[in-house]
Amino acid sequence: MIEPNPREDGKGRPRSDARTILNGILWILRTGAQWKDLPDRYPSYQTCHRRFQEWNRNGTMRNIIRSLANDLRERGEIETEESFIDGTFVPAKKGAQKSGKQSVGRVQRSWQLETATVFLSPFAQKMLHPMKSR
């Protein structure tokens, strides 16, 4: 699903391991933390965020979430018949309240919006909320 992506020009540092980056992205999605709070065991938050944006644009992130959800469903760990989109994963703004409206361009590029687009899949929300023991 995530193909190795070597640099075409052969210059610069090699790209970070995709699996480690995915684990960092999933940590952010699960915890709702800010990118800068990503633990040191993952690649830098800039690398993870940049790859999240890339995968979100090209559809890779949606495919990853669907595959993970399908795997969990097949193992009986989630039910995907019903899903709810809830914005509680978005952290509250800190500091003084801002006056005036943000520009439309600014809002469309926010990480919260990009994260929310991943959660538009009916499988994604369920993937993050496993079934409770009966």
Query: Residue 113: what pLDDT?
Result: 59
Residue 53 has pLDDT above 90, yes or no: yes
Query: Residue 72: what pLDDT?
Result: 86
**54 near 115, Cβ under 8 Å?**
no
User: End-to-end alpha-carbon separation of the chain, Å?
Assistant: 33
Mean predicted confidence (pLDDT) in 97-117: 56
Residue 81 has pLDDT above 50, yes or no: yes
Question: Which comes out higher in pLDDT, residue 66 or 84?
Answer: 66
Per-residue tokens: 34: 């800010």
Question: If we measure between CA atoms, which residue out of 3, 130, 5 comes closest to residue 64?
Answer: 3
pLDDT in tens, 7-39: 566 777 788 899 999 999 999 998 889 999 999
> What average pLDDT does the chain have?
75
Residue 126 CB neighbour total at 10 angstroms: 21
**109 near 50, Cβ under 8 Å?**
no
